[in-house]
């Protein structure tokens, strides 16, 4: 069945003692409840799974994903700031968060399972999220799945600025996993923006340059007697005809055709 998946994980949870961990878990659940309440998602429409230093919320597909995402971008930072303002340095909460959608099912042990859920967990554990949180002064980092971006973010709804999300690629056992990070992407880190050829459809990013690399030491090419030098992008004809010369030497293909890349 289709569900919305919300994952929240506390940074450096295992570094705290038992008393601090108990407090952090209580604050995490309180913040999560406030965010979901603000999104209009009451308890009958969601199910929580405890993962120790993290919480998983599997939410009814009829609940508004846009409203939930807007709440994550506004309510979550506000409640985190209020909580951390009153906490000691050892009890500060910093969160990695993932919002995804997909098909999940309850197994014989009443546990949610499914590949879309597994993908969401891989996004949560990705280096790009960990590095982004370490580099930021605020206490929160959010990543959304490709499905959430395509269905919600790219439409630039009020309170969900599409320009604030950037494409990233996460390695997984099933190959590269595209996603979208809210805020700046860490530079030079694993999971940085997809390189050429690995972009996401419709994103306009990561498109490979189909032109062959220029031969070293050749200043340009002549097509039909005209010089074409440097890095050129403006040839729009379907064919290039006439003599082709590189560095003043004729290719010897008079009247030959060069297919456009």
Q: Cα 165 from chain centroid?
A: 7
pTM of the model: 0.71
| 180 or 87: which leads in pLDDT | 180
CATH architecture designation of domain 2-182: 2-Layer Sandwich (3.30)
**Mean pLDDT for the chain overall:** 78
Using the CB atoms, write b or e for 185-221: b if 16+ within 10 Å: bbeebebbbbeeeebbeebeebeeeeeeeeeeeeeeb
Lowest mean pLDDT among 55-64, 103-112, 243-252: 243-252
Q: Are 192 and 108 in contact (CB under 8 A)?
A: no
The domain segmentation of the chain, as residue ranges, is 2-182, 220-259
154-165 tens-digit pLDDT:
999 999 999 999
Among candidate residues 219, 212, 225, 216, the one with its CA nearest the CA of residue 259:
212
217-242 tens-digit pLDDT:
444 444 344 444 444 444 444 444 44
Lowest mean pLDDT among 10-19, 87-96, 99-108, 205-214: 205-214
DSSP state of 214: P
245-255 tens-digit pLDDT:
444 444 444 44
Which residue has tokens 């320009």? Answer: 163
Mean pLDDT, range 197-214, rounded to an integer: 40
Q: Above 90 in pLDDT, residue 82? A: yes
Lowest mean pLDDT among 41-50, 143-152, 169-178: 169-178
pLDDT computed for residue 189 by the predictor: 55
- Report the C-alpha gap between 159 and 80 in whole angstroms: 19
- Report the C-alpha gap between 123 and 168 in whole angstroms: 10
Q: Are 198 and 208 in contact (CB under 8 A)?
A: no
pLDDT computed for residue 95 by the predictor: 95
């Amino acid at each position: 069945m289709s569900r919305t998946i919300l994952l929240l994980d506390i940074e450096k949870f295992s570094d705290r003692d038992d008393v601090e961990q108990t407090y952090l878990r209580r604050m995490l659940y309180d913040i999560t409840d406030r965010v979901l309440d603000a999104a209009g998602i009451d308890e009958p429409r969601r199910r929580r799974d405890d993962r120790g230093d993290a919480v998983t919320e599997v939410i009814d597909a009829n609940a508004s994903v846009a409203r939930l995402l807007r709440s994550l971008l506004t309510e979550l930072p506000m409640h985190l700031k209020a909580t951390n303002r009153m906490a000691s340095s050892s009890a500060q909460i910093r969160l990695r968060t993932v919002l995804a959608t997909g098909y999940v099912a309850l197994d014989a042990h009443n546990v949610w399972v499914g590949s879309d859920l597994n993908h969401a967990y891989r996004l949560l554990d990705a280096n790009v999220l960990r590095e982004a949180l370490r580099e930021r002064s605020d206490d929160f980092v959010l990543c959304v799945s490709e499905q959430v971006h395509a269905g919600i973010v790219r439409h630039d709804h009020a309170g969900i600025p599409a320009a604030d999300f950037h494409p990233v690629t996460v390695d997984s056992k099933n190959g590269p996993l595209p996603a979208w990070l809210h805020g700046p992407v860490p530079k030079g880190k694993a999971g940085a923006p997809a390189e050429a050829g690995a972009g996401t459809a419709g994103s306009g990013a990561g498109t490979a340059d189909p032109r062959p690399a220029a031969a070293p030491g050749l200043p340009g090419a002549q097509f039909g007697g005209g010089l074409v030098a440097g890095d050129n992008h403006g040839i729009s004809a379907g064919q290039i005809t006439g003599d082709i010369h590189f560095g003043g030497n004729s290719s010897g293909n008079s009247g030959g055709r060069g297919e456009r890349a």
